[in-house]
């Protein structure tokens, strides 16, 4: 693991998710931004002394120096966004499977270079868009893709948080500090941090490709450099329309991620804070609620379910479904086509996400789209 040291947020979730099915052991790490903290974090997690590395460069060198069969097989990169590209490129190049958190990298050039490297090295590469791992998101995908709700006409996706409603970064809070700094977060604030999840969720469920974006990004908290609120109109190829909005200033918003999809024959609604239910609408019929763990669900949902219905599964299990699919690809000796074969988000999803963030920022800066009353 790279990142995820003392005081970090998502690294711990990755460790729990990776271990949930007994398919991974954490054996080496360069876990923090300073050598001292990296080593201390590794020791705290019980890593062998010679595999608590001061930096990711030292880890790469140290692991390559070990005999084949005694090296790491995969690396999880869970650093802030600015520290994604270089280690990801280097570990792919050295022949390791890479599991990287979103947004994949800062620029579209970096995204293209990484995608090229993954193809050239025929590498296993995953981006942890973890929401696509929820059983009922997989069910929604299967239902939309098999035409159960007809041709998709409209999608509304939203992600409302309130934790950045005040200038939390001034307190030195670690996660707020880098997320509001363009040099570490990238060109997008809220749109990159959580809007990227919205974009991927739409793509994962519907398969629709965004054709055009009309975006309005706002920074509500004075003195903040990046957007903390985003409202987008979407036009998809083929004619469907969408709304995507996300915010980190919606007081009371926790991880209020919701998606609704309407087609010519029906509709679907899923809410991350109640992830074990999927509301299904059908023309001229009463609504139905599909629930996780029941026999009427499809194969993909069943494969991502560990407990009987009624025993809640949620965030960590959905995350673990991404890890499990990557492990299956590693055990099968698969390569760059593994996201499609094993069903996890890959470098193409990551690259599309980076493109989405940049085009959104561009659209928001251009005033041409607005018509005055």
Q: What are the residues binding ligand NAD (CB under 6 A)?
A: 2-5, 8-11, 30, 32-33, 56, 78-81, 83, 101-102, 128, 130, 174-175, 178, 193
Q: How far is the CB of 156 from ligand NAD (least distance, A)?
A: 21
Shortest Cβ 11–ligand NAD spacing (Å): 6
Q: What are phi and psi of 146, to 5 degrees?
A: -90, 5
**Whole-number minimum distance, CB 119 to ligand NAD, in Å?**
23
* CB of 245 or CB of 315, closer to ligand NAD: 315
CA 248-249-253 angle, to 5 degrees, is 75
Residue 266 Cβ vs ligand NAD, minimum distance, rounded to whole Å: 29
Q: Which residue, 196 or 276, has its beta carbon nearer to ligand NAD?
A: 196
3-class DSSP assignment, residue 35: helix
Return the residue matching tokens 């590794």: 42
Peptide bond into 103 cis (omega under 30): yes
Burial of 291 (0-12, 13-18, 19+ CB in 10 A): middle
Nearer to ligand NAD, 8 or 221 (CB): 8
Closest approach, Cβ 157 to ligand NAD, in A, equals 15
Nearer to ligand NAD, 4 or 263 (CB): 4
Signed CA dihedral, 124, 82, 78, 303: sign only: negative
**C-beta of 34 vs 218, nearer to ligand NAD:** 34
C-beta of 8 vs 268, nearer to ligand NAD: 8
Min dist CB 87 to ligand NAD, Å, is 7
- Cα-based torsion angle of the residue sequence 207, 208, 209, 215 in order, rounded to the nearest 10 degrees: -130
Contacts of 185 (CB under 8 A, 6+ apart): 80, 81, 82, 178, 179, 192, 193, 226
Q: Are 52 and 27 in contact (CB under 8 A)?
A: no
Supply the DSSP symbol for 67: P
User: Which residue's CB atom is positioned nearest to ligand NAD?
Assistant: 3
CB closer to ligand NAD out of 42 and 242: 42
**Distance separating alpha carbons of residues 44 and 37, to the nearest angstrom:** 10
CB of 37: closest distance to ligand NAD in angstroms? 6
Nearer to ligand NAD, 193 or 328 (CB): 193
Cα–Cα–Cα angle for 277, 283, 284, rounded to 5 degrees? 105
Distance CA 17, CA 314 (A): 11
Q: How far is the CB of 177 from ligand NAD (least distance, A)?
A: 8
C-beta separation of 128 from 197 below 8 A = no
Alpha helices in the chain (DSSP H): 10-19, 35-44, 56-64, 85-93, 108-120, 135-145, 174-179, 182-185, 190, 196-206, 299-303, 315-331, 338-342, 347-365
Closest to ligand NAD by CB, 186 vs 263, is 186
Q: Cβ 328 to ligand NAD, closest distance in Å?
A: 20
Identify the helix (H) or strand (E) that includes residue 50.
none
Q: Are 250 and 158 in contact (CB under 8 A)?
A: no
Contact 92, 117 (CB under 8 A): yes
Task: Report the nearest approach of ligand NAD to the CB of residue 38 (Å).
Answer: 6
Nearer to ligand NAD, 130 or 321 (CB): 130
């Amino acid at each position: 693991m790279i990142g995820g040291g003392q005081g970090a947020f998502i690294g711990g979730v990755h460790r729990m998710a990776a271990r949930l099915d007994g398919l991974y052991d954490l054996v080496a790490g360069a876990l923090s931004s300073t050598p001292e903290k990296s080593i201390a974090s590794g020791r705290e997690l019980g890593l062998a002394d010679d595999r608590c590395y001061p930096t990711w460069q030292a880890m790469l060198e140290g692991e390559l120096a070990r005999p084949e069969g005694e090296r790491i097989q995969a690396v999880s990169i869970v650093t802030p966004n600015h520290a994604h590209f270089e280690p990801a490129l280097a570990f792919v190049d050295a022949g390791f499977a890479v599991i990287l958190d979103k947004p994949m990298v800062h620029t579209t050039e970096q995204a293209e270079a990484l995608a090229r490297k993954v193809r050239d090295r025929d590498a296993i590469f995953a981006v942890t868009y973890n929401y696509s791992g929820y059983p009922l998101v997989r069910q929604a995908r299967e239902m939309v893709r098999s035409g159960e709700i007809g041709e998709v006409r409209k999608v509304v996706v939203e992600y409302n948080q309130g934790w950045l409603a005040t200038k939390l970064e001034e307190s030195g809070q670690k996660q707020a500090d880098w997320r509001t700094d363009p040099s570490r977060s990238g060109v997008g604030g809220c749109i990159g941090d959580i809007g990227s999840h919205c974009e991927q969720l739409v793509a994962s469920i519907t398969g629709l490709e965004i054709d055009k974006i009309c975006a309005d990004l706002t920074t509500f908290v004075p003195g903040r450099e990046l957007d903390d609120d985003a409202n987008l109109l979407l036009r998809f190829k083929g004619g469907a329309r969408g709304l995507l909005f996300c915010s980190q200033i919606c007081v009371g918003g926790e991880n209020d991620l919701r998606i609704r999809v309407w087609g010519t024959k029906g509709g679907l609604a899923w809410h991350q804070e109640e992830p074990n239910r999927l509301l299904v609408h059908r023309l001229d019929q009463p609504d139905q609620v599909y629930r996780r763990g029941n026999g009427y669900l499809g194969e993909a949902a069943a494969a991502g379910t560990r407990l009987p219905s009624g025993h809640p599964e949620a965030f960590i299990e959905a995350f673990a479904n991404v890890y499990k699919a990557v492990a299956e690809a590693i055990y099968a000796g698969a390569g760059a086509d593994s996201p499609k074969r094993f069903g996890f988000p890959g470098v193409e999803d990551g690259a599309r996400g980076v493109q989405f963030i940049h085009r959104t920022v561009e659209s928001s800066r251009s005033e041409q789209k607005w018509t005055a009353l």
